[in-house]
Amino acid sequence: MAKCELSIELDEPNRVYHEGEKVEGIAHVKVDSTVKCTGLVLSTGWKTHGRGNVTSGPTEETTVFSGQWTQGTKYEYRFSLSAGDWPQTYHGQILSIDHYVEAKAKIPWAFDPKTATPFMVRVTQLPTWHDEELSQILKKSKKPQIIGMVLFAVICVPQLRFTGWVGVGVLGFVGLAVAVFWLKQKFLPRYLLGTPNFYIQEDTLAPGSELVGEFITQTRKTVVPNAITVALRGTEVCVSGSGSNRTTHKNVVFEEIQELQSNTTLQAGTENRCPFSFQLPEDAALSVNLKENSLIWSVEVEVDIPRWPDWRKNQSIYIVPTNEKRLGLGSDQSGAGVTRASDTLAQEKSQASDSATENSNSMMAAGVTFVETVAQIWAVRDDRDQLEMVVDAVIGLSFTIEAQVERRLLYAGDEDPNVYKDGYAVWARYPGPRLPLVLYVPHDLGDEFEQLGRGAWTGRGVVVGWDSLHGRLQIKLDSTS
């Protein structure tokens, strides 16, 4: 049987590639006897390895040769293939993701020889098809409850149907266990704490950015918790095997815990607010959800109540890539590249600040639109003085507002003078750029927002200020919207 040796030589083996770039090199072929090849296929793609079942995906494929190779001859075939736009190369403890150039020779009536060479991919922006994956990860915390109900129906209902009174007994026992679990985990903590909840200003963040949130509760009775803590975690989750042999492996790659309050009295009937913030690591791993291999980031708040079931809630967040190409990094990972990126960013900020004064002075006189207002605020969002100048210029102006709702009925109370009587405040976001907003909703629009959920809303509103604590533009909606 003829022996066919394949090897791949990359032009830049140490290069870090970005989406849209080409991986170039040479595929080498050596045969020890004349052999027919029905196709030498070169391709790029990615593959997971670690504790979980292997997940893989293709990027680009091309056939560079079809015909006969002669004994003793060495062949070379140049290639130029797309590097791929997702996922990013990642090397963890129980999960790794690598991109490869693979060469495969199709030899009739023989095993097809193949070889692969890895290369690094760094993603600078999410692909357009990625919204569905993002939504799946952000909803991941809700799956255990759904799975539990499904298992309950699958296991218990057949028992009731086929085993008579034994089934009734099993159903009653399981129902009692579920009731006890609900009583301990849901009802009793809320009985003391009233309506505990926590909110995150932005659930989609880039490495190195700040995560800001707040825990809010209004207790029914006076409570002195042992502690109120909030934890930020990044966790590798891998699933191996299937069926009865299916096993889930988890490894925490990042964890930071903050204590919000300790031995502090929560007075009955008084709204208690505990703000918190985390600085994400500059090298924080991007969130991924590759079927049975995932990297999940989450925030969990826990209230440790003495001699009482504790209250806790977990919410997923999504870590997305910083757009390095906008900063001029490209594929240069040297210190000079970082310097050029910093200079470019500083120049952008300077230009935005210079134009902010001129634009804000003309906003009152010109027929400025909400789109232009959002764009100007977004441009100077990191410069407090310029930001306040722009916001002051548009306070009192009425616009047609487009907003993507994030959190309904966030808070209401006399402490915020912008809240309507019997109205609500809702966290939302402008579609693009994704500027955070606070919408003050009158009572007569409450049902509309209740039905809307996390959908898009359009109507009239007046700019009333800037929420500096949460970094949001404040807009009071018109009840006739």
Q: What is the Cα–Cα distance from 478 to 480, expressed in whole angstroms?
A: 5
User: What is residue 58's DSSP assignment?
Assistant: E
- Angstrom CA distances, 31 to 67, 247, 300, 408, stand at 13, 44, 59, 67
Residue with tokens 């040769």: 65
What does the pLDDT average to over 249-273? 84
Q: What is the Cα–Cα distance from 238 to 223, expressed in whole angstroms?
A: 40
Q: Tell me the pLDDT band of 361, cut-offs 50, 70 and 90.
A: very low
Q: How far is CA 396 from the centre of its chain?
A: 35
pLDDT digits (tens, 9 = 90+) for 430-457: 987 888 888 988 888 888 887 777 788 8
pLDDT at 177: 55
pLDDT at 335: 34
pLDDT digits (tens, 9 = 90+) for 311-341: 888 999 999 887 633 333 333 333 333 333 3
**Contacts of residue 360, Cβ cutoff 8 Å, sequence gap at least 6:** 376, 389, 390, 392, 393
Average pLDDT, the chain: 78
Q: N- to C-terminal Cα distance for the chain?
A: 79
pLDDT at 41: 97
Higher pLDDT, 157 or 478: 478
CATH class of 134-319: mainly beta
CATH 2.60.40.640 is the classification of domain 4-122: yes
pLDDT at 413: 46
Residue 87: cis peptide before it, omega within 30 degrees of 0: yes
pLDDT at 446: 81
pLDDT digits (tens, 9 = 90+) for 375-397: 889 888 877 788 888 999 889 99
Which of 45-54, 307-316, 358-367, 419-428 is predicted least confidently?
Answer: 358-367
Are domains 4-122 and 134-319 of this chain identical in fold?
Answer: yes
- Angstrom CA distances, 394 to 96, 367, 374, stand at 49, 11, 11
Q: What is the Cα–Cα distance from 466 to 463, expressed in whole angstroms?
A: 9
Residue 225 pLDDT greater than 90, yes or no: no
Most confident stretch, 30-34, 139-143, 150-154, 445-449 = 30-34
- pTM for the full predicted model: 0.61
Q: What is the Cα–Cα distance from 481 to 11, expressed in whole angstroms?
A: 60
Most confident stretch, 216-220, 317-321, 408-412 = 317-321
190 phi/psi in degrees, rounded to 5: -70, -25
pLDDT digits (tens, 9 = 90+) for 17-33: 998 899 999 999 999 88
Q: Tell me the pLDDT band of 81, cut-offs 50, 70 and 90.
A: very high
- How many percent of the chain have pLDDT more than 90? 35
* Domains of the chain by residue range: 4-122, 134-319, 332-477
pLDDT at 407: 67
Most confident stretch, 287-296, 330-339, 410-419 = 287-296
